[in-house]
């Protein structure tokens, strides 16, 4: 490797370090999502045009996905832009080098301008209808697809996402890994939109878009992302995530910071919107779901791993939070 290449690589590593320190809670929640992405279309559309994206149930049926898979559409603009319409919300402009990720599962519309006649996504994909007009300088180039998530139902990251997550993908303030992922995605989808490589790039693209959102000011207004932005609360969450089977109490977690139990409990609720022990229970059950889904461990072993010495007590707590017994959940979600 040349000295210039080594300097470039070193600069890239230094530049990305700040973007990879949202700590263990973020990485654990991201890992639980089990991301799998696919590109549905990569086209250039001349105005006027509009495409209707159906709700999550319809997308799941269209993609022949399992009932427990969450479908999250994304729309990446490579040139031009469009207005994103959600029922009951003002249109949101998505411009060049921006991506709109839509975790809510609600139907929505992309349009170049008011008055454009919408075409259903299914008709676009089946080539039953086309969007007319020459692809000139006013055309919008889109890479649209979905990310399929098979996460535990209590994953804190998912509940912290907005209806529409809008992120810039390039520029000096942008996570450089996301910038590079977009460049690689643009190259790969031109050759083979649903290749193995494209799918892997999409995993990185989605993960880094969420990480970029997590660093934004808007994400840290309240809730889980704000907790990650709070050094003391994030440190306590990291200790919990490292050792979910420990006999955690409010006082025990407060002592890791350190803060008085009363001040820690008040700050935790103010930041996250829930009590300390409610989060502890939810994360333990998230870990339990992972073990039920991915291992052959006995219930007693899994119960102990998440802090329960009594299997019956674990089963009651699991059913109260997840809605099914551990045995039923494992049967329905086994890998």
Same domain, 253 and 315: yes
Same domain, 143 and 256: no
Q: What is the pTM of this model?
A: 0.86
pLDDT attached to residue 126 = 86
Same domain, 182 and 204: yes
Q: What is the CATH number of the domain that holds 306?
A: 1.10.10.60
pLDDT attached to residue 221 = 64
Biggest alpha carbon–alpha carbon distance for the chain: 68
Sign of CA dihedral 293, 295, 299, 303: negative
Query: CB–CB of 37/203 below 8 Å?
Result: yes
Tell me the average pLDDT across 90-103.
Answer: 95
Same domain, 35 and 146: yes
Examine residue 224 and state whether it is found in any structural domain, yes or no. no
Same domain, 256 and 147: no
Same domain, 213 and 235: no
Same domain, 154 and 297: no
pLDDT attached to residue 298 = 95
Tell me the average pLDDT across 68-84.
Answer: 95
Same domain, 29 and 130: yes
Same domain, 89 and 206: yes
Q: How many CA atoms lie within 13 A of 16 on its CB side?
A: 14
pLDDT per residue over 127-180, tens digit each?
765 565 555 678 899 999 999 998 889 999 998 999 999 999 998 888 899 999
Q: pLDDT-derived band of residue 222, with 50, 70 and 90 as boundaries?
A: low
Answer with the one of 169, 199, 219 that is the final residue of a domain.
Answer: 219
Q: pLDDT-derived band of residue 113, with 50, 70 and 90 as boundaries?
A: confident
pLDDT attached to residue 18 = 43
In terms of residue numbers, what domain contains 61? 20-219
Q: Over pLDDT 90: what percentage of the chain?
A: 72
Examine residue 236 and state whether it is found in any structural domain, yes or no. yes
Ranges assigned E (strand) in the chain: 36-45, 50-53, 70-79, 81-86, 92-95, 98-101, 108-111, 119-120, 140-149, 165-168
pLDDT per residue over 23-70, tens digit each?
789 999 999 999 999 999 999 998 889 999 999 999 999 999 988 899
Same domain, 147 and 271: no
Answer with the one of 198, 219, 240 that is the final residue of a domain.
Answer: 219
Same domain, 57 and 202: yes
Same domain, 243 and 175: no
pLDDT attached to residue 127 = 79
pLDDT attached to residue 2 = 44
Q: What is the CATH number of the domain that holds 145?
A: 2.60.120.10
Examine residue 79 and state whether it is found in any structural domain, yes or no. yes
Answer with the one of 219, 247, 273 that is the final residue of a domain.
Answer: 219
pLDDT attached to residue 3 = 42
Number of structural domains the chain divides into: 2
Tell me the average pLDDT across 233-242.
Answer: 96
């Amino acid at each position: 490797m040349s000295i210039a290449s080594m300097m470039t690589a070193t600069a890239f590593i230094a530049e990305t370090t700040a973007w990879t320190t949202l700590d263990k809670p973020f990485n654990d929640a991201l890992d639980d999502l089990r991301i799998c992405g696919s590109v549905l279309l990569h086209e250039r559309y001349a105005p006027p045009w509009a495409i209707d994206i159906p709700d999550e149930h319809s997308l799941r049926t269209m993609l022949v996905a399992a009932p427990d898979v969450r479908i999250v559409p994304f729309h990446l603009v490579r040139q031009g832009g469009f207005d994103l319409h959600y029922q009951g919300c003002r249109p949101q402009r998505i411009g060049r080098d921006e991506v709109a990720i839509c975790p809510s599962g609600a139907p929505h519309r992309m349009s170049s301008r008011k008055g454009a006649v919408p075409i259903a996504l299914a008709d676009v994909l089946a080539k039953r209808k086309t969007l007319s007009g020459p692809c000139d300088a006013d055309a919008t180039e889109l890479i649209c697809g979905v990310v399929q998530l098979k996460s535990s139902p209590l994953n804190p990251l998912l509940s912290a996402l907005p209806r529409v997550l809008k992120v810039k993908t390039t520029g000096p303030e942008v996570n450089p890994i996301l910038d590079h992922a977009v460049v690689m995605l643009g190259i790969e989808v031109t050759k083979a939109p649903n290749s193995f490589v494209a799918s892997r790039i999409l995993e990185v693209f989605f993960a880094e878009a969420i990480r970029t959102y997590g660093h934004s000011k808007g994400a840290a207004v309240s809730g889980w992302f704000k907790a990650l932005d709070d050094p003391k609360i994030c440190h306590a969450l990291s200790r919990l995530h490292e050792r979910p089977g420990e006999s955690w109490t409010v006082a025990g977690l407060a002592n890791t910071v350190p803060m008085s139990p009363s001040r820690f409990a008040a700050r935790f609720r103010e930041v996250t919107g829930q009590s300390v022990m409610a989060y502890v229970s939810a994360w333990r059950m998230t870990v339990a779901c992972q073990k039920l889904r991915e291992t052959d461990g006995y219930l007693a072993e899994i119960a102990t791993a998440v802090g329960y010495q009594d299997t019956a007590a674990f089963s009651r707590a699991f059913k109260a939070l997840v809605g099914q017994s551990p045995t039923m959940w494992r049967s329905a979600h086994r890998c």
